[in-house]
Amino acid sequence: MRILLGITGGIAAYKAAEVARLLTRQGHAVRCVLTEAGARFITPLTLASLTGQPVFGANPDLGEWRANPVVEHIDLARWADLVAVAPATADILGKTANGLATDLLSTLLLATRAPVLWAPAMNTAMWSHPAVRANVARLKSFGHSLIEPVEGLLACGEEGGGKLAEVEAIVDAILALGSPRHPALEGKKVLVTAGPTREDLDPVRTLTNRSTGAMGIEMARALRNAGAEVHLVLGGDGPAFPLYGLAPTRVRSAAEMLAACEKLWPAMDGLVAAAAVADQRPETCSAEKVKKGEGPERLTLVRTPDILATLSDAKRPGQWLLGFAAESEGHLENAAAKLTRKRLDAILANDVADGQGFGDQANTLTPVTAEGPQPALGPLPKDELAQAAVAWWAHRLAALSPSQP
């Protein structure tokens, strides 16, 4: 992806360097455009070093980093798959909302046909000023996207809204808006379950498992980046930063996860069941903390509902179901058995022998369909693995229903 990163004059400009670094590390081409004030906060050399790309600006005093001066606003506007402005000051919001083109960044913001993402950062009073509110509303009416500033301690010493969104959240939003869409998934409604469930014994103790939810969250992001409308039902602690356009329905137990999924399922086109649902729960959950006894104690467990099998039973024609199977032995045979038992379209088998595949580790998935195991995907970090799995599934969907666009 080719990203044009506009950086305007705010103290948060130093965080733009990290946005540029993370995107570059993920293999994207990032070209930075500095306003005159932006260049007072962060140097072109820093950005050029991090991105390996020329840095652009409109300040003739900084001649040596003013690249090709002829029609650079048009060239850059055409080059970009997405234009992001982070941090965006009240000034650049106001300029673009009102069609002003007074420097390179504001000019190319009018000239671009690519999606535009704003990540504003400013003092709380400025952010809540009616002029800024009106400008933001106007920019949204142009189809521009915005990642809301967060609350926190601002550089001016005030506490409140106006702090630049987290760097990871900005990168996530850029990928959500600028990634290439997949025709088989674009506009499709997909339910994703992710994370562990927690089955309480009492107000303090709980039964759960080692899932962090990372793979399911990455599947949700990859589906969203491919253009799907994703509904994420999430157990466990959840992601470290807010996911763009993916406000999850948070659940605790398997019963809660099932209830949330059953509500959503009739309107969905597909399901990706990546949650590590507890297979058993304590028969009873005590309202008070249970006192410890002497010697061995017995815990009676009962089965939780199988969410995937339940939704499979309720499937209407055209809906598809993708499951995951984490096994520490015989993962392919077990996956094939689950594919048949739960009547799935495909299952992604994951060998978790010796603790592999949990948390941040690289992982390998083998898709299993009615035709048997398919070539393995990975080992890859989970974000790239999810992209590979989504691409694999999208191609298969397209091949299964070639008449669809």
The whole-angstrom separation of Cα 82 and Cα 126 is: 27
Tell me whether the omega of the peptide bond preceding residue 87 falls within 30 degrees of 0, making it cis.
Answer: yes
Task: Report in angstroms how near the CB of residue 153 gets to ligand C5P at its nearest.
Answer: 40
Q: Please provide residue 223's backbone torsions phi and psi, each rounded to the nearest 5 degrees.
A: -65, -45
- Under the binding rule (CB under 6 A), the answer on residue 307 touching ligand C5P is yes
Q: Is 35 in the site for ligand C5P (CB under 6 A)?
A: no
* Closer CB to ligand C5P, 16 or 307, in the complex: 307
Residues 246-265 within binding reach of ligand C5P (CB under 6 A): 254
Tell whether residue 215 is a contact of ligand C5P (CB under 6 A): no
Please say whether the beta carbons of 364 and 350 come within 8 A: yes
Establish if 7 lies at the interface with ligand C5P (CB under 6 A): no
Which one of residues 108, 234, 268, 275 is an interface residue with ligand C5P (CB under 6 A)? 275
In Å, how far are 86, 175, 280 from 32, measured between CA atoms? Answer: 10, 17, 52
Please answer whether residues 308 and 228 qualify as being in contact, where contact means their C-beta atoms are separated by less than 8 angstroms: no
User: Near ligand C5P by CB under 6 A, which window of 96-104, 132-140, 271-279, 379-387?
Assistant: 271-279
Q: Is 156 a catalytic residue?
A: yes
Task: With H, G, I as helix, E, B as strand and everything else as coil, classify residue 325.
Answer: strand
Between 118 and 324, CB nearer to ligand C5P: 324
Q: How many residues of this chain interact with ligand C5P, rule: CB under 6 A?
A: 14
Of the two residues 140 and 303, which places its CB atom closer to ligand C5P in the complex? 303
Q: Between 18 and 306, name the residue whose CB sits nearer to ligand C5P.
A: 306
Q: What is the rounded CA–CA span in Å between residue 29 and residue 322?
A: 33
Tell me which of 101, 306, 378, 380 binds ligand C5P, using CB under 6 A.
306
3-state SS assignment for residue 45? helix
Question: CA 22, CA 248: separation in Å to the nearest integer?
Answer: 24
By the rule CB under 6 A, 304 interacts with ligand C5P: yes
Could you tell me if 352 and 358 are in contact, meaning their C-beta atoms sit under 8 angstroms apart? yes
Structure token digits, residue 276 = 């590590």
Catalytically annotated residues: 156
Q: Which residues bind ligand C5P (CB under 6 A)?
A: 193, 254, 273-275, 277, 304, 306-308, 323-325, 338
